[in-house]
């Protein structure tokens, strides 16, 4: 069974466990993965040189490109016959990458997911609707194994068929919903159309992640679905969902540090940054056998916190992911994360949660067009006020970013709804 004791271990004891596991991991990589053997040799070190946790800085980084170059099985540390599950990234931005799990890895992952569910208010008595996609994506199956490990009841509905999702919630009395935050918003809209009121449902919490979302969006989701919303983070290369999750205090996501060693680096110099400073998140897996990773550069931007948490967990927290280094837009020299614009939008009364950022280049000049969908009510009642409303949105965004933007109000239901990860940015400059 899962062992939450490890979550409240003293930092000293945890560090001992981490060091032992780090050494084992580096040894495994050195002995079994030619890619790492070569990298470690180039650095002139072996696993025996790891004497303290700080020595992690001696180790080489791993990037997504390294995984691509070793496609499909080159990063595995065990023979393929010992792999019991393979997941893969979609490969929309290049060659796909695969990840492999031994049966022990599946055990570990299930345990971490069970612990994640507990942090998100779930227990054995819950009915948990898993509306993350099942398949090569790690969301569906990751949650599924966690729910079974917890001993709760899984509804393995996967993403899509939104009306059926709502009917299941009503008929089966779902108490915990798991999906992307953008899909949760879409569900709220569909429920309204169907005349279903979330206040009448039994939902108590939602475990949402797999894409960036802001605290303001959380307020919206909580209001619309009448539940407590938790942010869950993970990535397939490192494991899948269940790398970190918020507790009831919602002051950052506790990283499961008995399985993943976090660092935050300056993405330019690759130097480790002190706690509290924002940079690129890097993970070393220390409890994984099929495909262990050393200092994997996630490209996700966040910072780490070690202040005590009232929940009693001693594991470090990461701030909500602000975005990815590769999602950051550079508009006329100004760095813009889509999540910053989302935060501004969601603070304005009556703004719908459906928006998209369209970037173009006209006569050599970058144009950022923030397309915001008008709600049905606004559209019918306030046609005349729309212009002022558009100006207000534009002024708010411009003053926050210090950058001129265009704001276009679009008719209700014109922005594509998401059943998985939402597409928030369309950058036409690359075409
Ligand atoms: O998205 C795993 C997952 C499934 C996490 C279900 C949470 C819930 P990938 O498809 O490999 O794996 O995508 C990983 O998604 O590097 C982040 O950029 C982003 N991401 C994941 N969770 C969050 C989050 C899954 N809570 C990539 N906030 C990561 C912001 C997130 N971004």
Instruction: Please choose from 178, 207, 210, 418 the residue to mutate so as to test ligand 1's pocket, defined by most ligand atoms within 8 A of CB.
Output: 210
406 pocket-lining for ligand 1 (C-beta < 6 Å)? no
Number of domains the chain contains:
2
**Could you tell me the distance, in angstroms and rounded to a whole number, from the CA of residue 65 to the centre of ligand 1?**
18
Domain identity same for 261 and 187: yes
Distance 268 CA to ligand 1 centre (A): 23
Domain final position from 325, 352, 367? 325
* 253 and 127 belong to one structural domain: yes
What is the distance in A from the centroid of ligand 1 to the CA of 242? 10
* 101 DSSP β-pair partners: 85
Question: Alpha helices, DSSP H only, in 352-385?
Answer: 376-381
**Residues 6 or more apart from 296 whose CB is under 8 A from it?**
61, 62, 63, 237, 238, 282, 283, 284, 285
Write the residue with the smallest CA distance to atom 13 of ligand 1: 235
Ligand 1 centre distance from Cα of residue 236 (Å)? 8
Give yes or no: residues 242 and 159 share one domain. Answer: yes
Whether the CB of 327 sits within 6 Å of ligand 1? no
CA 293 to ligand 1 center in whole angstroms: 17
- Residue 377 lies in domain: 329-430
How far away, in angstroms, is 99 Cα from ligand 1 center?
15
Q: Is the CB of 262 under 6 A from ligand 1?
A: no
Greatest distance between any 2 Cα atoms in the chain? 72
Q: What secondary structure, in 3-state letters, does 306-321 show?
A: CCCCCCCCCCCEECCC
Name which residue sits closest to atom 9 of ligand 1, judged by CA: 235
According to the model, what pLDDT value does residue 3 have? 54
* Residues 354 and 383 reside in one and the same domain: yes
| Separation CA 130–CA 115 (nearest Å) | 16
Residues 298 and 344 in one domain: no
Last residue of a domain, one of 295, 325, 355: 325
Burial (0-12, 13-18, 19+ Cβ within 10 Å), 174: buried
Q: Sign of torsion, CA 116 118 120 126?
A: positive
Give the span between the Cα atoms of 360 and 355, in whole angstroms: 16
Same domain, 306 and 345: no
Both 269 and 315 in one domain: the answer is yes
- Of 325, 358, 388, the residue at which a domain comes to its end is 325
Peptide bond just before 72 cis, omega within 30 deg: yes
E strands, 72-227, are 85-88, 98-101, 127-130, 153-155, 176-179, 205-209
DSSP for 65-85 reads HHHHHTTTTTT-SS-GGG--E
Residues 364 and 317 placed together within one structural domain of the fold? no
Closest ligand 1 atom, residue 299 Cα: 16
Using CA atoms, how far residue 81 sits from 24, 226, 332, 429, in Å, is 21, 46, 52, 45
Q: What is the residue-level pLDDT of the chain in tens, covering all 431 positions? A: 445 699 999 999 999 999 999 999 999 999 999 999 999 999 999 999 999 999 999 999 999 999 999 999 999 999 999 999 999 986 656 778 999 999 999 999 999 999 999 999 999 999 999 999 999 999 999 999 999 999 999 999 999 999 999 999 999 999 999 999 999 999 999 999 999 999 999 999 999 999 999 999 999 999 999 999 999 999 999 999 999 999 999 999 999 999 999 999 999 999 999 999 999 999 999 999 999 999 999 999 999 999 999 999 999 999 999 888 888 899 998 999 999 999 999 999 888 899 999 999 998 899 999 999 987 777 776 666 888 889 999 999 999 999 999 999 999 999 999 999 999 999 998 65
Residue to mutate, 109, 234, 325, ligand 1, most ligand atoms under 8 Å from C-beta: 234
The answer, as to whether pTM is greater than 0.85, is: yes
The best mutation among 233, 296, 302, 343 to test binding of ligand 1, ranked by most ligand atoms within 8 Å of the C-beta, falls on 233
Which residues touch 294 (CB under 8 Å, ≥6 apart)? 25, 26, 29, 36, 59, 60, 61, 62, 284
pLDDT at residue 1 in the model: 41
Which pair of tokens denotes residue 286? Answer: 């220390």
CB 139 within 8 A of CB 210: yes
Radius of gyration of the chain (CA): 22
Instruction: Supply the pLDDT for residue 151.
Output: 98
Q: Do 294 and 184 fall within a single domain?
A: yes
Residues 281, 301, single domain; the answer is yes
Residue 240 Cβ < 6 Å to ligand 1 = yes
Same domain, 309 and 404: no
Q: Is 50 in the pocket of ligand 1 (CB under 6 A)?
A: no
So what's the pLDDT on residue 10?
A: 97
Rounded to a whole number, what is the distance in angstroms from the first to the last CA of the chain?
A: 51
Which CATH number is 336's domain given?
Answer: 3.30.300.30
Ligand 1 pocket check for 132: Cβ under 6 Å: yes
């Amino acid at each position: 069974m899962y062992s939450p004791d490890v979550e409240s271990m003293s930092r000293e004891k945890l560090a001992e466990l981490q060091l032992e596991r780090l050494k084992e991991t580096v040894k495994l990589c050195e002995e079994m993965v030619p890619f790492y053997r070569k990298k470690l040799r180039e650095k002139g070190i072996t696993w025996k040189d790891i004497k303290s946790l700080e020595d992690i800085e001696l180790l080489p980084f791993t990037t997504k490109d390294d995984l691509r170059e070793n496609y499909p099985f080159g990063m595995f540390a065990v023979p393929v016959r010992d792999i019991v599950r393979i997941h893969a990234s979609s490969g929309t931005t290049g060659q796909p990458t695969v990840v492999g799990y031994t049966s022990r890895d599946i055990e570990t992952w299930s345990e971490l997911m069970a612990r994640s569910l507990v942090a998100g208010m779930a227990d054995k008595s819950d009915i948990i609707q898993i509306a993350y996609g099942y398949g090569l994506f790690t969301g569906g199956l990751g949650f599924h194994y966690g729910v079974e490990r917890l001993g709760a009841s899984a509804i393995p509905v996967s993403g899509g068929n939104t009306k059926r999702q709502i009917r299941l919630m009503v008929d089966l009395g779902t108490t915990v919903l798991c999906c992307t935050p953008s899909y949760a918003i879409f569900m709220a809209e569909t429920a309204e159309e169907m005349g279903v009121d979330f206040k009448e449902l039994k939902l108590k919490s939602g475990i949402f992640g797999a894409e960036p979302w802001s605290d303001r969006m959380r307020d919206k989701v909580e209001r619309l679905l009448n539940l407590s919303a938790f942010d869950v983070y993970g990535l397939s290369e490192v494991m899948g969902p269940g790398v970190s999750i918020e507790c009831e205090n919602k002051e950052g996501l506790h990283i499961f540090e008995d399985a993943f060693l976090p660092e935050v680096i300056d993405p330019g110099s690759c130097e480790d940054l002190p706690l509290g400073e924002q940079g690129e998140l890097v993970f070393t897996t220390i409890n994984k056998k099929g495909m262990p990773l050393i200092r994997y550069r996630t490209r996700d931007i966040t910072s780490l916190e070690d202040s005590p948490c009232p929940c009693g967990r001693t594991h470090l927290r990461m701030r909500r992911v602000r975005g990815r280094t590769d999602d950051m837009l550079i508009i006329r020299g100004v760095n813009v994360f889509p999540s910053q614009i989302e935060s501004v939008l969601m603070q304005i009364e009556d703004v719908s949660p459906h928006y998209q950022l369209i970037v173009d280049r006209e006569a050599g000049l970058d144009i950022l067009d923030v397309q915001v969908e008008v709600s049905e009510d606004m559209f019918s009642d306030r046609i005349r006020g729309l212009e002022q409303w558009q100006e207000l949105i534009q002024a708010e965004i411009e003053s926050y970013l210090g950058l001129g933007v265009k704001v276009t109000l679009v008719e209700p239901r014109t922005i594509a709804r998401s059943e998985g990860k939402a597409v928030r940015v369309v950058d036409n400059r690359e075409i």
